[in-house]
Amino acid sequence: MSQLKFKSNAIYGAGLGLRASHYQEVLSSKPNIPWFELLADNYMSDGGLPIERAHKIRQNYPITLHCVGMSLGSCDPLNINYLTRLKALSEKLEPAYISDHLAWASIDGQYTHDLLPLPYNAHTLDHMCERISKVQEFLGRTILIENPSSYLTFEESDMTEWDFISQMAKISGCELLVDINNIYVSSINHKFDPLHYVASLPAEKVKELHLAGFTKMDNYLLDTHSEKVHPPVWQLYRAAIKQFGATPTLIEWDSDVPDFATLHQEALTAERHMWALSQ
């Protein structure tokens, strides 16, 4: 079995999203980061350097696999080819968690490569739960579902996002990846109380948190993952830690990626909050 060559796959503390521009530094200086998140979709090809590097990283760190391609909210059939590749990758890398989003990404086989919103009602709840269950059965494990950031709402939504997510976790047995920045961004865009959102989630289901920086536009906040975590998001994070306890937290930074030291600083800040508030 391959388990022996890996460190334990349990994660704690603040991890970082692995970015191509940081591989070299991570592999040569082996920084003291508790875990890395790999975007599974970047490691789905047949072979090559990225996959080799993922294995090297995994020999030194626990990892999680984060996905954007399951398209769980889509009305298309599940993409079995994608899930098969994901399963193979997960058997090789033994991630602590596998996650994807409360969103859809494709229709009629055509992919937008984005995370698109869903109306929150009983019909969508059935649809999501059925598909999450199928994926969990296929992968032979529980997955985490992340709350999206969004820019529109539907006339046909008759539940709040937090109610929807809480019920989804209860019915499908999935666990939760709570993106604190996404809650904040959506709370400004759709005018709800982000503290109430956090307080309404089932704490025992929350296994991982995300933090990131948004960009302020004229009339709304855009979830760009291109800046430092903003002060109100840190504030909401502190509330989340108080409620959920010390939950593994990831700093996401996907565009205008800074040097590794800056990224690491953000993770250390998260850990300071985490350890101070979770006693």
Partner 1 sequence: MNLKKWQQDFYQGIFHPSQNNIQLACQGINTTGNLSASQRLDIYRDSILGGITDGLSGVFPVCENLVGSQYFSHMLTDFLKQNPSYSPDLGNYGALLPNYIAQFKPAKDLVYLPEVAKLEWLWHKAFNASDVHNNNAAIYTLEQLASITENEQGRIQFVLQPSIQLMQSDYPIHLIWEMNQDNYDGQKQVDLNEGEVNLLIFRAPDYSMHINPLNKDEFIFYQALQAGLIFLDIAKLTFTAPIETLLAPAIQSGLIIGFNIA
Q: Which residues bind partner 1 (CB under 8 A)?
A: 41-42, 44-50, 52, 68-71, 74-75, 79, 82, 104-114, 116, 118-119, 123-124, 127, 151-156, 189-191, 219-220, 222, 255
Contacted entry of partner 1, Fe ion, none for residue 71, CB cut-off 5 to 8 Å set by kind: partner 1
Q: Considering only 18-26, 37-45, 83-91, 175-183, which stretch makes contact with Fe ion by CB under 5 A?
A: 175-183
Give the one entry of Fe ion, partner 1, none that residue 75 binds, where binding means its C-beta sits below a cut-off of 5 to 8 angstroms depending on kind. Answer: partner 1
Which residue, among 172, 177, 179, has the nearest Cα to 207 in the 3D structure? 177
- For position 223 contacting Fe ion by CB under 5 A, the verdict is no
The minimum distance between CB 8 and partner 1, in angstroms, equals 27
Q: Which is nearer to partner 1, 159 or 268 (CB)?
A: 159
Residues near 185 by beta carbon (within 8 Å), at least 6 away in sequence:
149, 214, 221, 222, 223
210 binds, among Fe ion, partner 1, none (CB under 5 to 8 A by kind): Fe ion
CB of 66 to partner 1, least distance (A): 14
Contacts of Fe ion in 182-221 (CB under 5 A) = 210
How many angstroms separate the CA atoms of 113 and 91, rounded?
25
How far apart CA 131 and CA 80 sit, in angstroms, is: 12
Least distance in Å: CB of 177 to partner 1? 19
Distance CA 243, CA 207 (A): 12
Residue 13 interacts with which of partner 1, Fe ion, none, CB < 5 to 8 Å by class:
none
Residues 144 and 209 sit within 8 Å (Cβ to Cβ): no
Closest separation in Å from C-beta 73 to partner 1 = 8
Do residues 202 and 168 touch, judged by C-beta distance below 8 A?
A: no
Q: DSSP code of 32?
A: -
78 DSSP assignment: P
| Smaller CB separation from Fe ion, 131 or 210 | 210
Residue closer to partner 1, measured from CB, 52 or 204: 52
Minimum distance of partner 1 from residue 256's CB (angstroms):
12
Closer to partner 1 by CB, 11 or 143: give it: 143
Taking alpha carbons only, the member of 201, 265, 274 closest to residue 237 is 274
Q: Are 140 and 183 in contact (CB under 8 A)?
A: no
225 lines the binding site for Fe ion (CB under 5 A):
no
What is the C-alpha separation between 67 and 41, in angstroms, rounded?
Answer: 6
What is the rounded CA–CA span in Å between residue 142 and residue 95?
12
Which residue ranges make up the site for Fe ion (CB under 5 A)? 179, 210
